[in-house]
Amino acid sequence: MKALEFRKSIPRYALLRLLGSRCPRGMVARIAPLSLREVPPPRLPTPQWVRVRPTLAGICGSDLATFCAKGSPYLAPITSMPFVPGHEVVGTVTELGAQARRFAVGDRVVLQPALGCTVRGIEPQCAACAAGQDALCCNVMRGDISSGIQTGYCRDTGGGFSEGFVAHQSQLYRVPDSLPDRAAVLIEPFACALHAALRARPADADTVLVIGCGAIGLLTVAALRATGCKARILAVAKYDHQRAFASGFGVDVLLPAGGPIGQRYRHWADAIGAEVLDPELGKPAVIGGADVTFDCVASSASIDDAIRFTRSGGRLVLVGMPGIPRGIDWTPLWYKELNLHAAYAYGREQVTGKSVQTFDMAIELLPVWSARLIQLVGDPYELANYRAAIAAALDTGRTGIAKTTIAP
């Protein structure tokens, strides 16, 4: 079968790190250790596994960080290579293991990619998996398959950027017939956004700041409104299409992403109700700020802005994948006694006194929002045209598309 395979290459990785932002977007996929190959289909590790043919696979920010060599080496020891990327996937079941009885061949499914204890056949389960937080599993280098935190970063599972991958039956969720593929491919990132929204649970009287209106930022806004949040939401958007989407999803005030820092800070402060003070050296200090801030970019600059623009005692939720940020002044985090939260993936949530999996919430809420959210998804690229797909995902300002997809 055909698959887009990522192989370890220290020279290519070093070249990408050296070139950094100077590397033209169209060149990234040529330099990255990616290749479209003919590979044997992955085997079913145990009888509880099934085979899935992807219909549509989204390109995630974590995929781009990997391709561009911008990710942290922290995850390298718990990733096995070569791997086939792609964890935002909707597809069709094509083969069942002897003990896989939850699905039938032909079922349309989405993938919950976390590779926890149940997937790995490990008993007793680690504390995180026993609590329903499979994405936080402590055994991601053990069990029936090789190391990997998710499908798409594990040698034995394959991934969505291929003609087929394997998944434990516990990882799959049926897609409602009423939900088209272009909406279903957003279930995984929407679940991430719901998890982030539920980490903070803003009150109706709160002011919420969302920094970044890429796919995960826009989905975070949608997740806040979908879960009944009535707080005043301000969002920082870089491009016209992001501003249009954000307004349609329920943002009350749009803030600029660029311009001179002093001018931008005063614009933000006026909208939020904060005060900007200029020190002798360095960036302005900010007194006051948002009750809850979601950083959906997680660059060095955005984390620094988020810390400054969260009020004393407020909550800051790091939603984007941070890599290795540099040049952040952590003094406001300490001085304001901020509550810093990280939001990674999904798990078991407590909602109105009930325990529910984030994926189940996403599948329940998405149909109501599908007409709006489907606009985020552009026309898919063929697998053979993966280089153009990656270039488009890196240049959403040009394409006007928030979520780039591949149709294997």
Cβ proximity of 107 and 184 under 8 Å: no
Return d(Cα 301, Cα 306) in angstroms, integer. 9
pTM: 0.96
Stretch 357-373: mean pLDDT: 95
State what percent of residues in the chain have pLDDT above 70: 99
| Local confidence band at 18 (pLDDT 50, 70, 90 cut-offs) | confident
The DSSP string of 106-121 is T-EEEE--B--HHHHT
Kindly report, residue by residue over 161-217, the tens digit of the pLDDT.
Answer: 999 999 999 999 999 999 999 999 999 999 999 999 999 999 999 999 999 999 999
Stretch 353-369: mean pLDDT: 95
Q: Which amino acid is at 240?
A: D
Return d(Cα 153, Cα 369) in angstroms, integer. 30
Stretch 148-163: mean pLDDT: 98
- Cα 91–Cα 159–Cα 347 angle in degrees, nearest 5: 80
**H/E run at residue 348:** strand 348-351
Where is pLDDT greater, at 15 or 123? 123
Kindly report, residue by residue over 113-137, the tens digit of the pLDDT.
Answer: 999 999 999 999 999 999 999 999 9
Task: Look up the CATH architecture of domain 2-185+377-407.
Answer: Alpha-Beta Complex (3.90)
Kindly report, residue by residue over 256-310, the tens digit of the pLDDT.
Answer: 999 999 999 999 999 999 999 999 998 999 999 999 999 999 999 999 999 999 9
Please name which of 187, 245, 261, 186 lies closest in space to residue 212, comparing C-alpha atoms.
245
**H/E run at residue 395:** none
Q: Report residue 56 as tokens.
A: 């549509």
3-state DSSP call for residue 231?
coil
Sign of the C-alpha dihedral computed for residues 3, 190, 369 and 209 taken in this order: negative
| Local confidence band at 21 (pLDDT 50, 70, 90 cut-offs) | low
Average pLDDT value for the chain: 95
Q: Report residue 401 as tokens.
A: 């598309």
Residue with tokens 């002093």: 262
Cβ proximity of 300 and 325 under 8 Å: yes
Return d(Cα 28, Cα 230) in angstroms, integer. 41
Kindly report, residue by residue over 310-351, the tens digit of the pLDDT.
Answer: 999 999 999 999 888 899 999 999 999 999 999 999 999 999
Return d(Cα 36, Cα 388) in angstroms, integer. 13
Q: Where are the domains of the chain?
A: 2-185+377-407, 199-342
CA dihedral 396, 393, 299, 325 (to 10 degrees): -160
Return d(Cα 96, Cα 153) in angstroms, integer. 23
Q: Match domain 199-342 to its CATH number in 3.40.50.720, 3.40.190.10, 3.30.565.10, 3.40.47.10.
A: 3.40.50.720
Q: Residue 392's pLDDT is what?
A: 95
β 339-342/310-318 pair status? parallel
